[in-house]
Structure formats: structure tokens, C-alpha cells
Structure 1
Amino acid sequence: MKSIYMTIMAVLVVFTVIGCTASGDISETQAEADNMRILDSGQAAAAPAAGETLAEAPKKYSVPEIVPVQVNDDKVSWQDGDVSFIGHLAPSLEDQPPGSKEIHEMSITSGGREFKLELNPQPSSVSSVALSADHRYLALHYQFKEGYKLVIMDLKKGEYYPVNDYFSRNGRGAVNLIHAYNWSPEGHELALSYGEQNRSSVAVYDTDSRMLLDIATPRVYKNTVAILWGEDGKGFDFVNGDESGNYVLYQYTRKGNLLQEAGPVSSSDLERFAEISPAYAK
């Protein structure tokens, strides 16, 4: 295998501060320049050495246990410890296409407290549910008519909001898809990719401060199929795909906000990443 050429570039840092309410209404303020901060981290992850495939590279990923969403008859459910989600499938009010269903009467229970979840538009399916490492926040990834949304719930306050709407209302354009997401191995920072059918942008979202850090790649990609944090939480890798079906591995370092292009991803390596990745929209 040829040596992998790595480019190191400064990452464009853009922060946005957004507010939320349990009803889903959104208020937002632009972060003041003197309030912007850099998320500190450690050294960049090493790229594979010459002659070494990505699958053989000595990179240790944080791979959380993924609890699958269950669908039994007209009931959609998920549970991890004392945190659970439940919803009920019913015929779509629009009935497009004929026979289609939507999830209604949704609720999340945590520590004996129940929170009603009202989403608009209604989900047609829930692809994944995941707790942050500290169990403070819950991420719910669901499909609707135009794409995939990601709802974040603060389990302490019972507040929730779709991050797609936050980003759209704060200068990120149309955000019909959350392509992939993954909680950090400690705390509750979220690495995710967002955009449309043919556009994917990778970012880090701080759920406490509601600050968004966009990570600029050298070119526009169609989708992001996997995001994987390093075991030490000092950065993460992500795999981007283009219109031609080519995939590239990037390695992001939190300290200094640097990005390395580690090289192309083969079909076998892509399967490996899929096997150890949390659920994502395909």
C-alpha cells in the first residue's frame, strides 16, 4: 500500500449559542466574540504507517454499547437502565404513501419521571436512541418525510429540541439530515454531521453551552457514514463520501482544532467502520 499523504489544516471555528424550551420553541442569541472558546484536547491521532491498512492501524476507538430500538406490532420502544422511550404507530394523517404510519403518543422516562415528547412533523420511524456518557442527555434519531432529525433531551430538566432546527435558524441553511452522530466517551459533547441529501458538514456540539464548532473539510462531501471518538476522547475520526462513491478518512484533533486527511477508505475498511459505529442514517 502506498504511503498516505496527510494534510494538516486549521479548522474553521464557528460558535452559535442557542436556547431551548420543553415545548420545542427555540430562542437564540449570537455568541459574543469574547465568549467564544476553543475546546481543548490532546495530540492528533496518528495515521496508518506506510504499508499498513486502516484496519491494521493501532487506533483505539470508544465504542459504546448500542441498545437497539424495538418495534413490536404498533409499539416502538427502547430502554437503557432506568431510561426508556416509548411510542405508538398509527396511520399517517396525510396517508402518503398509502398505508404509511407515524409514531404518536411518545414519551421518555428517566429516574421515575415521565416526559411527553411532541414532535412536528411526526416521525415515521426511530433509527436509534443513545445516552450521553454521563447519562445527562438523550439523543433520539428519527426519520420523517424529508430526512432525519436528531432530538436532544436534557433528562434533568425535561427540555428537548431538534438540533436540525437550531442549525437552520442560525445560518446553517436547510438541515434536513443528521447523517451521523456519536457522544464523546466522557461528559456530553456530541460529534455529528448535518446537512441535506447531497451535503454533509461535520461539527462538535456542546449540549451545555449550546455552542456549535464547525469543522471545515477541504471540499464538500455528500454524506458522512461514520463518526468514531478516540478511546481517550482527545479527538475523533470520521468517514466522508462523495458523489462518485469514494470515501476518505479524516482525523480531528481537539487541541489546536486541527484536521488530518488520513487517506482513502477501501470497501473492507468501510465495513469495519460500520461494524463498530453507532447507528446512523444510510
Structure 2
Amino acid sequence: MNKIASFSIILLALTSILGCNNNADVKVATNQSNVSQNNVSQSKNGNSIPQKVKDNEAVGRNSFDSSIYYASENNPTIKNSDNQIVWKEGNVVLTAAISKAEGEQVSQSNTVISSITVESSNGKYIIDLDKKPLGIQSVGLSKNNQLAVHVRDHEGSRLILLSLSSGKQIVLNDLPNKEAFSEKIDSYNWSPDGNTIAFGIGDIGSSYIALYNTEDKTFSNLSEKDFTLITSVVWHKDGQGFDFLSQTDDTKNPVILYQYTLKDNSISKVTDNLTENEQATLTTKFLPVKIE
């Protein structure tokens, strides 16, 4: 009986030890699973969790370097007249009809853009807006047949994206997964592959940096920091990030150049010591050509 009792005690002890080990494995697996789910939840509803801007300067950079920037190879032609604007790049032609303002818009401007038509090898499309814009600031064509049309309103501006393949259009100011309509879009630019557009967005007096991916239809707010006014957004040639220029209310540092990198989803300051020529290079050489 003593031998049987001893054997039973040993068996119970072994069972207890094995049971503890199995429970430990389950907890580790659960924690790892939670980590993966948390990583996925960072892009819930297409919105990445806004990142804080690093006070330190961008790694390996502390000055302006235009050689790293991507510039579109195509140069559009623009013809303005009293009754229309014609923008053409390759086989894509945008025609904006100009007419006299009516109703409440009479006090805002003498003329409005009454219609916007886009023609390409894929067909003819009409950009339909609920409110007539007062002008067209610029037009930008991406490599994957997406057209960005930046229109001016009485207060603020809108950015319309038109797919030349499907004819579908969206207004970035009023995306379904954004919390509210934004009054203006500042500077914008297409990535080298044409799939993503980076832009400054906000209400009058504020500007936040954001991304929109045309393939998976996701909007990402990249930072909670208010950059006041984003005057330039310029992608790097490798498509792994971009620089953007912020005009602030700080008299000591009125203009600051920042860098965003896709790899680590981070924003860092490059320099606050840009010359007027360097600022002009950012706004004239690498951005969509201004119409007005």
C-alpha cells in the first residue's frame, strides 16, 4: 500500500507540473496574439494612429537637398481665356468652363467654374461638385491614371481625385472615414508610383499632414501636430517618404522643413534655416504646375 501511495503522489506531482507548463504556453500565445491584433488595430478604419513629431533632426540630414526629390517627367500645357481653362498633359485634357457668378457667389467673385470636363483615351468624364468653385489652383496627374484637381472656394479649397480608368471621383475634404469636413487642402503631391497622394488638410488657420491610398481607399492622418500652413509636399525619388514645408506663426522659425518616412511612420525636422531660393525650388520645380 505504501508503494502504491508513493506512486500516486509522484503521479499527481508530475501531472501538476505538466499542467502548469501547458498553461504558461497558452498565456504566451495569447499575449503574442494580442500584440498582432494591436498592430493591426493601428490602421483601423483606414486611419493610422497619429505619430508625434520628433524634436531631433532627421537621421543623416540637417540641410536642404533637392537631389533626393521626385519630379514628374511630363510638363502640362495650360491655356487661359475669359471663358475657359484648358489643361493638357499627354492625352489627358481638362476643360473648365468659366461663367458669371450667380446668387450668393456674386459677392464672392465675378466668375465661377461652371463645369469641369476631363477627356482621355479611356473616355470623357464630368467632375460633379455640389458647389461651384471660384477657380482652379492646379491639376496633378499620377502614373496610375489618377487625376487630382485642386479647386478654390470663397474660404478654403477642395481636392478632387478622379480615376481615369473607372470615372469614380472623391473629394478628399469629405471622406467617409474622416470625422468631419475639412475647409481646405494645402499643398499636395503624388508618390512616384502614383498610388498614394500626400497633402496638407485642415480648417482655415490649421493644417495637418495626411496620406490617401487610391488602391485600398485608406485615409491616414500622420500626426496630431498642427503645422499651420503646409505650402509644399515633395516625395523622395525612392517613394519611401517625403518632405513638407510648414509656415508657422513663430517669428523666429517662420518656415520649417520636415521629413516623413514610411518605414517607421515617423516625422522629423530637417531644418528651419531655408533660404528664399530653396523655398522657391520646392514650390516651383517639384509641385503640380499652378494654374492661378
Give the CA deviation at 1:174. Answer: 4.1
Alignment partner of 1:149 out of 138, 158, 164 = 158
Contact 2:256 2:271 in 1 (8 A): yes
Partners of 1:187 and 1:240 in 2: CA distance? 24
Match of 2:148 in 1: 139
Partners of 2:115 and 2:267 in 1: CA distance? 43
Contact 1:179 1:281 in 2 (8 A): no
Q: What amino acid maps onto 1:110 in structure 2?
A: S
Partners of 1:161 and 1:207 in 2: CA distance? 10
**Are 2:268 and 1:254 equivalent residues in the alignment?**
no
Partners of 1:226 and 1:260 in 2: CA distance? 16
Q: What are the superposed Cα offsets for residues 112-158 of structure 1, whole Å, 9 maximum, x if unpaired?
A: 51112221211111111111122x21100010122110000111111
**Are 2:238 and 1:232 equivalent residues in the alignment?**
yes
Larger Rg: 2
Matches within 5 A, 1:1-282: 15=43, 30=45, 46-48=60-62, 53-54=63-64, 57=65, 59-64=67-72, 65-67=74-76, 69-94=78-103, 95-97=105-107, 100-111=110-121, 113-134=123-144, 136-166=145-175, 170-171=178-179, 173-216=180-223, 219-244=225-250, 246-268=254-276, 269-279=278-288
| Structure 1 residues 153 and 264, CA gap change in structure 2 (3 angstroms) | same
Gaps of 5+ in 1: 1-12, 17-29, 38-43
Q: What amino acid maps onto 1:82 in structure 2?
A: N
Considering Cα pairs closer than 8 Å and 6+ residues apart, tell me whether 1 or 2 has the greater RCO: 1
Report the aligned-residue RMSD: 2.7
How many residue pairs match? The answer is: 238
Partners of 1:181 and 1:129 in 2: CA distance? 10
- Identify the structure with the greater helix proportion: 2
Q: What amino acid maps onto 2:140 in structure 1?
A: A
- Identify the structure with the greater strand proportion: 1
Give the CA deviation at 1:14. Answer: 6.4
- After the TM superposition, list the runs of 4 or more consecutive aligned residues in structure 1 that deviate by more than 6 angstroms: none
SS across alignment from 1:164: helix
SS across alignment from 1:274: helix
Gaps of 5+ in 2: 1-40, 50-57
Contact 2:247 2:255 in 1 (8 A): yes
Q: What amino acid maps onto 1:234 in structure 2?
A: Q
**TM (normalized to structure 2)?**
0.73
SS across alignment from 1:271: helix
